[in-house]
Amino acid sequence: MASRNYHRHAIEPFGRELITSGDLDPVYNAITGAGWDMETRCRWMVAYWCFYHSGFACYAAQFKGAHFWDALQVAAENTTPNPYNERWPRGSERRHFRADAATRAIEELSKQYAHAADMVSFCAGPEPHTTFAAINKRAKTHRGFGAWMGFKIADMIDRCTPVEVDFELGHLFMFKDPEKAATMQWTLTHPGEELAPRQQRLTEVVTALIAEFSDLKAPPNGDRPVGIPEVETVLCKWKSHMNGHYPLYHDSREIRKQVIDWASVSPLATSFLQALPYGDQQ
C-alpha cells in the first residue's frame, strides 16, 4: 500500500503530469504500444473487462477462439490454481465478478461470441463514430456488466480501437467520485462562496480543466484534444490523491507489479511491460 506521506498537488499540475507521463491510463499506452494486432487487443480488452487484472489479461489474450473462453472459464471457476499455484486474480473493481455470477457470465459470452473481437464489435456498434450512450447500452446487456464497466468499455474502445466515441458532460457525473472531486475543486476556486447549483459547478470545473489542458493531446494516440473522459480520470485520481491514496505514478507502478510475474508464461506480458509507462522511474 502506498504511503500517505507525499506532497499533495493542485489538480492542474497533477492532471498535467498524469497526462504527459502516461499515468492517466497506463494500460491504454501499453496495449496500443505493444505492437499487437487488433484481434489480440480485443482478446486482452475482453479479459480485462471481465477480471480487471492486466497480468491475467496478458495470459488469456494469447489463446484464440474457443480456447480463449475456456481460459476465462477456468479463471472464473477458480477451483484449479493458476500457473503460479495461486488463485486466479481479480481486480478490486471486479470483486463481485466471481462464483456463479462469473461462470454464468463467461458461459453466456462464449455462446454469444465465437471470438472476443465479436464482443468488442458488438459493443462498439457498426459505425466508425458512435456515442458513449450507445456503447453503454449495449455493454450492459451482458451479465455482470454495469454502468461503470460500460464507461470503461466506451473509453477503451475510443482510445484503443479505430472507433471514435463522443462523451457528453452528463455522462461524467454518473458516478460519485468525479462529482465529489469537482465539488472539491469548485470550493477551492470559490472560497467563502455559497455552493453553486450542481450542474453549474460541475460544468464550470470540467470546462476549466479542458481549457487548462488544451495544449495537450489525449493519450495514448495524441489524435484529439484532451476531453471529457480524460478529465473524468483526472478528477477521480485527484480525489484519491488528496485523500492519501494516490501518489503520482501509482497506477504505472502497480500495474507493472501486477504483470511482471506473468511474463514467464506469456510473451504478451513481456511486450506489454515494454510499452507500459514508467512514470518517474524512466
Quick one: CA torsion of 273, 57, 84, 90, rounded to 10 degrees?
A: 120
* Residue where the block lists cell 470550493: 187
What values do phi and psi take at 189, rounded to 5? -90, -5
Options 39, 107, 164, 232, the catalytic residue: 232
Burial class of residue 61, CB neighbours in 10 A (0-12, 13-18, 19+) = buried
Give dist(CA 219, CA 20) in Å, integer: 8
How many of the other CB atoms lie within 10 Å of CB of 190? 13
What values do phi and psi take at 183, rounded to 5? -65, -40
Give dist(CA 174, CA 140) in Å, integer: 15
Cβ–Cβ < 8 Å for 263, 273: yes
- Cα dist from 79 to 21, 98, 109, 144, whole Å: 39, 11, 20, 20
Active site residue 77: no
The sign of the dihedral angle between the CA atoms of 13, 217, 19, 190 is positive
Query: Measured at the alpha carbon of residue 44, what is the angle toward residues 159 and 73, in degrees to the nearest 5?
Result: 140
Q: Which residues are catalytic?
A: 232
